[in-house]
Structures are given as C-alpha cells and as structure tokens.
Amino acid sequence: MSGSEAHGAAPGTSLDEQGLIERHFRPLATAPGAFSLLDDAASYAPPPGADLVLTKDGIAEGIHFLPGEDAGVIARKALRVNLSDLAAKGATPVGYLVLLGLSDDWSEDWVARFADGLASDQDRYGATLYGGDTIRSGRFIVTITAFGIAASGGIVRRAGARAGDHVYVSGTIGDGALGLLVAQNDPRLASLDESHRAHLAARYHLPEPRVALAESVARFATAALDVSDGLVGDLDKLCTVSGVTARVTAADVPLSQAAGAAVKIDPALLPICLTGGDDYEIICTVPPEKASDFEASASSAAIPVRKIAEVTQNGGRAEFVDSAGLEMDFGNRSFSHVGSHARSHAASHDRGTYSGR
Amino acid sequence: MSGSEAHGAAPGTSLDEQGLIERHFRPLATAPGAFSLLDDAASYAPPPGADLVLTKDGIAEGIHFLPGEDAGVIARKALRVNLSDLAAKGATPVGYLVLLGLSDDWSEDWVARFADGLASDQDRYGATLYGGDTIRSGRFIVTITAFGIAASGGIVRRAGARAGDHVYVSGTIGDGALGLLVAQNDPRLASLDESHRAHLAARYHLPEPRVALAESVARFATAALDVSDGLVGDLDKLCTVSGVTARVTAADVPLSQAAGAAVKIDPALLPICLTGGDDYEIICTVPPEKASDFEASASSAAIPVRKIAEVTQNGGRAEFVDSAGLEMDFGNRSFSHVGSHARSHAASHDRGTYSGR
C-alpha cells in the first residue's frame, strides 16, 4: 500500500463514487432532507413530540455472510437487522445511512445489485436513504445506522417487565439456526422434506424483521427486544435487565412446521432452536390486562404472536423447562438436565452488539 | 472460514464484547437515552423546533490510515471527520454511534486505547456515545454516524450561495496535504525547518474539526461545506450546487507559516496545498451585509477566518488565479496556465462520500 493510498485521495485509486451515487444511490434518497445525497449531511425534522430511536449494525464478508453472497441479499440483510431493532423498540422506521466497504474486486454490477436490494426493502418497510459513505475496505462490509421515531418517552426498552406480565414471542423460533445446519448440509437434517429444508434455509438466508408489530409493541408492551442471539439468551437479557424471572416450558415455544418436523426427527435439535439465534422475532412482555388487546393488535397486523410464559417473580433470569418439568441447561451447546441456567451460554453466545443487533 | 463463523455465533469465535462494552464503552455512554448500552437501540429527544442533522463516515486500515496506527488516533480521526461535517452544516453535535471492525489480531489493549481516544474527544467536542456494534472484519475499520441539531430549517447546505456573497475559509489550507508529503519523506520538504515539518505532519495525522465555528455558520452563512477533498474541489462543489461562480486569487488563500515556508522553497507545492485535501476547514459564503458580524462571531469563537473571494456571477464553478491573474489548471495534479477549470480534478479526487466527509 502506498502512502497516497493511505491518504485515500490519489488519482487512479478513486472509486468514481460520485458516479456510483448518481447511478445507484440517489434514486433511494427520496426524502427532502437527504438533499439528493449532494451535501455533507442530511436533515430530518421529527414530528412534534417524537423521540428519535437510533441503532447501528454492521455485517462483514467472511463473518456474517459468505464470500460470493448475492449483493442484494447482503444489502437487505444489513438493513433488516437494523429494522428489527427498531421494531422491537416500538419505533416506526424513517431512514438509514449506509457505509459500503468495497473489496478490491468490487464491480459496478455488484453495487447495482446492492442498491437494488436496498430499493426493494425501502418499499417494503418504509425507510429511505439519508446518506452514507463508500470506501474501499479490503473485503465487503456494510454498516447501517437506521433511525425511526417513537412517541415521546415511548421507546420500549429491555428493562420494564413486571411480575405478572405475559411473555410473548412473534412468529416461530429456531428456523434460522436450523437453516444454518441445512446450509452446512448437516446430516441430522438430511432426511427432512425438501420443502422444509428450503423453508429453513430461506429464513437463515434473509431475516424478516417484524416491522409491522412495532405499533402493537409500542402500545402494549412493558419491555421488548429482538431475538438475534437466540431465544434463551435474549429472553435472559430481558429478564436480567428487568430484574424478573420468566419460566418457559420449551414445548410452548412456537416452531414452524419445518422446525417441528426436524425436532421430531432428532429431539436434540430443540435446544439448537432455542439457543441458535438469527430468528429476528420479537420477545415482549405485556401486562395481563392488556394481553387480549395486544393479541388483537398483532392479529390485525397479521403477525402471529404466542404467549410462552408469565413473569412469575423477581430474580433476573430466564428458565426453560422440558416436558418432564426439569430445567434445561444449554451450556456449551450441550443439552442436559442440571440446575444451572442459561446465562453462561447466552454470554458466550453474544454476537457483540451494543445498542444494536 | 467455517459455516459457524459465517453465522457469527459460535462459541470460541466470540469477542466477549459484553465485557469490552462494560470495560471500555459504557463509560462513554453518558446520555440517558443511550441506556448504558444495555438495549437494542438508543433514544434521543430533540428540543422542540430542532432538526436532526445526520452524517456517516468510515475509515479503513490500509486506506485511510496505515497499519500500526495508534488506536486512539484512529478513533479520534473517525469521530472528527464526522464532527467536521456537522460543524460545516451549522449543527451542534449531540451524539454518535460507532461500529468498530476488528482485525484478527485485535487486542484488549487496542480497544482500550480506541475507547480512550473517543473519551478525550467526547470531552473536547461535546458529543457522547449512543450505541454501536463491534464485529470482526479482517482489518480494522471504524464507521461512525454522528448526529447533531440545528434550528428548524436551519441546516446550512452546500446550495444557497448567492451572487455578492463573500467566500470565507477557516484556519489554513494545505497543511494536511503537505503533512502527507512529510510523512512520505518527500524530498521537496527535506530542507524545511523541523518545527514546520512537525506542524504539517501533525495536521495530517489528526484533523481539528471546526466545531466552534458551527454557531457562526448557522447564524450568518448562506452555504457551507467542510474542506476534506481539497479547497479547489470542494469550493467547486459548493459553486456547482449553488449555481454560482467564485474567483479566488491563490495568494489570498490562508497558509500556515509552515506551508508558506514550504511554498517559498518550492512554489509547485502551492497547487498541492490547494487541491490536496485533509484540511477539515470550513468554506462558507456570507452576505456582504453580514460579513462583519460573521467575522466578529468567528473571532469570539477563536476561529480564524479569511475572505478569499466574492461570489461574482452565476455559472457554477470555482476559479483560481495566480499572481499574474492567469487561471490555474489543477488537472492531473499538474500545474499549468490553461483555460480548463478544476472540476475534472475535483471529480477524480473525490473520496467517495455522499452526505458525508
């Protein structure tokens, strides 16, 4: 690397990024405050009484996605993990800023497909591009800061769950973890129906953030977070920071038909579903007197939710019990019936995100 | 790379980032809405009537800083290039989110020094940490989203300069570009006094964002941007988007004593000063009737500013003339007296930032 490369401004090492912007990114910057990406910064005027909600996450080639992954999928995944955070906080998405780090073998076509991925998800989730930066970074890296709004003081935190609250989870748990096993051609899933295998792989490949559930969370939940590091670990985080305990019967955790079929083939896959991460579902706690209203609100948003526990006491942990009523221990991915709880596993499992994924 | 690494959640590949947060980053997250970095997202309640101003920039090892650079300097540089954008928009900094991408040989000590760098600049510039993400990324990468506030509708854009406005630049121009040459042991600067060499190298090493000038910009400027890609190219951008022309006599551009001494040794260094980038000064245009108030305001903020041109006509470009009154051509870094103007050079020079650096 020459000094002028370190400087980043030598002719010939340029990305012609102005051209890339004009051709691919400017069409995404539809908000007036994005200034058509022609300025140093963007402007956003929040509605009176609204709080900003901000989150930032990044994904890197070779760590969070495989080399050769489709650029559009990378873009959408990077955006979606951020939108999932906003949804879990009860926030309505507004916009995002994206840093695209290009590997040395980047191509215009790659950038075009990347922008197309953002474009399709902008339409889907209602957030537009407010700015960003494109740099060379050796390998592909995408970092996104997404922002949304919540009513003043209305952000739903991880802290806030109270004894008596019902614990809900959206959608189904474990598909992402099993989808990774499918992608790895794990022999335990070799005999699974092809349609089930495809379902699991798709859910691992590209998460579906529960943006549509944000309003229900905002209106009814006392605490919430999104399930990115596994139900066990993430529920444990909510309980720890809220200072409450939730006791979940594993059989009550909603599984997809595909995951259910996999667990029927090999029951040892159940703890993988519960701890494996990449679900991007929402856990939230709702006071019992609001439970039916929350369920109705989620239903009208077409998001399935299931009650999996009640917050039974103070204490600060999540407990999972099997069909025999014995507490499950997920330490070191092993599955056994001993007295320890999930927190040590959750900690070792953490993806390394703060105010993030 | 194993599949579990791609998944990012395998035990043993963990960063123990919860530990890193607790030890190094939580002390930086002093705002209530940062929730001590214990949540999925942060919350910020803007004052009534304020607009958010957002910018995002990133720097990568081997591109924007050399391998082995001090972690604290990397952190401060990443933060400062963002704060420079906010200052140029007339915005008061509030907070930032940081994604830290770690190389495979990262160490706890490196992270500690990185966080120390952020800590010292937080105190210096008055912005606090609102969240972020730490990932492994093969090489060190830092991306920061900074946000600030401006009065409703008060963001100062690149567009807005009007015929008759005075063009001001803060501080001195060219130190960053010459500092790079010093770092490269360029023979043209070998005979320069050691104190001058040290001054230039320091200004290249770590920019000084003009945060203190933001209020003056907000109150009096019709257009502004920060000088990151070189005075010639950046003034050209302002003129282009504002649809005006500014004619600058090169001798009027403020140089530091060190840069002045260097140019005296080799006059061919002047165009490098004018085009080289990494100044992180502010260009702004001020209506003539407000010029003295702007100068007084800048003076009370202890930021030197100098008028370098007047916006003389519509047209959409910046012109630089030498002491003989001939227009300078900076194309391809060569310096000659021909009729073409700076824009082609500015385009080739662009660092690849939109709504950014």
| Partner residue opposite B46 with nearest CB, options A46, A333, A357 | A46
Tell me: do A175 and A214 sit in the same domain.
Answer: yes
Structure tokens at A116: 């197309």
Residue A31 distance to chain B (closest CA, Å): 13
Assess whether pLDDT exceeds 90 at residue B12.
no
- The verdict on A39 and A125 lying in the same domain is yes
Across the interface, whether the CB atoms of B8 and A351 are under 8 A apart is answered yes
User: How many contacts (CB atoms, under 8 Å) link A and B?
Assistant: 349
Residues 239-278 of B with CB under 8 A from A: 241, 276-278
- Identify the domain containing residue A106 by its residue range: 3-151
| Boundary of a domain, candidates A116, A151, A186 | A151
Question: Of B352, B355, B345, whose CA–CA distance to B63 is shortest?
Answer: B352
Q: Is residue B226 part of a domain?
A: yes
Q: What is the pLDDT of residue A14?
A: 53
Angle at B42 between CA B39 and CA B45, to 5 degrees: 140
CB atoms within 10 A of CB A152: 13
Same domain, yes or no: A180 and A258: yes
What domain count does chain A have? 2
Residue B3 resides in a domain: no
Are A176 and A262 found together in one domain? Answer: yes
Using a CB-CB distance cutoff of 8 angstroms, which residues of chain A are in contact with residue B277? 7, 9
Residue B9 placed within a domain: no
Q: Are residues B112 and B226 in the same domain?
A: no
pLDDT band for position B199 (50/70/90)? very high
Question: Is A54:B44 a contact under the CB 8 Å cutoff?
Answer: yes
Between A321 and B2, the more confident residue is A321
- Say what the pLDDT of residue B6 is: 31
| Contact check, Cβ <8 Å, A57/B99 | yes
ipTM of the complex model: 0.87
Minimal Cβ distance to A348: which of B11, B134, B353 = B11
| Candidate ranges A343-352, B112-121, B340-349; pick with highest mean pLDDT | B112-121
pLDDT band of residue B14 (cuts 50, 70, 90) is: low
A213: in domain: yes
- Of B4-18, B238-252, B307-321, the poorest mean pLDDT is in B4-18
Q: Alpha helix (H) ranges present in B53-174?
A: 71-88, 108-125
Domain termination site, one of A119, A151, A183: A151
Q: Is B54 on the interface with A (CB under 8 A)?
A: yes
**Which residues 191-220 on chain A approach chain B with CB closer than 8 angstroms?**
none
pLDDT of residue B62: 87
Q: Is B38 close to A63, i.e. CB distance below 8 A?
A: no
| A136 and A105 assigned to the same domain | yes
A132:B355 CB<8 A? yes
Q: How far is CA B61 from CA A205, A220, A341, B141, in A?
A: 29, 46, 41, 6
- Do A173 and A135 lie in one domain? The reply is no
How far are the Cα atoms of A252, A259, A339, B21 from residue A248, in angstroms, in the given order? 7, 18, 15, 29
Q: Is A188 on the interface with B (CB under 8 A)?
A: no
| Positions of chain A with pLDDT lower than 70, given as ranges | 1-15, 332-357
| A351: nearest CA partner in chain B | B9
pLDDT value of residue A139: 87
Q: Do residues A222 and A288 share a domain?
A: yes
Angle value at C-alpha A74, between A68 and A79, nearest 5 degrees: 175
pTM: 0.88
Residues in A closer than 8 angstroms to B133, CB to CB, are 56-58, 143, 352-354, 356-357
Domain check: are A249 and A341 in the same one?
Answer: yes
Question: Quick check: is A158 in a domain?
Answer: no
Put simply, whether B69 touches A (Cβ < 8 Å) is: no
Is the domain of B196 the same as that of B282? yes
**Statement to judge: residues B137 and B204 lie in one domain:** no
| Closest chain A CA to residue B356 | A40
Looking from the CA of A338 toward its CB, the CA atoms found within 13 Å total 9
Last residue of a domain, one of B116, B151, B186: B151
CATH number of the domain enclosing A259: 3.90.650.10
> Is A255 part of any domain?
yes
The answer, for A152 touching chain B at a CB cutoff of 8 Å, is yes
CA distance A84 to chain B (A): 9
Residue A357 domain flag: no
What is residue B155's DSSP assignment? P
State the CATH number of the domain containing residue B67.
3.30.1330.10
B125 and B185 assigned to the same domain: no
Q: Which of B21, B63, B145 sits opposite A136 (nearest CB)?
A: B63
In a domain? residue A67: yes
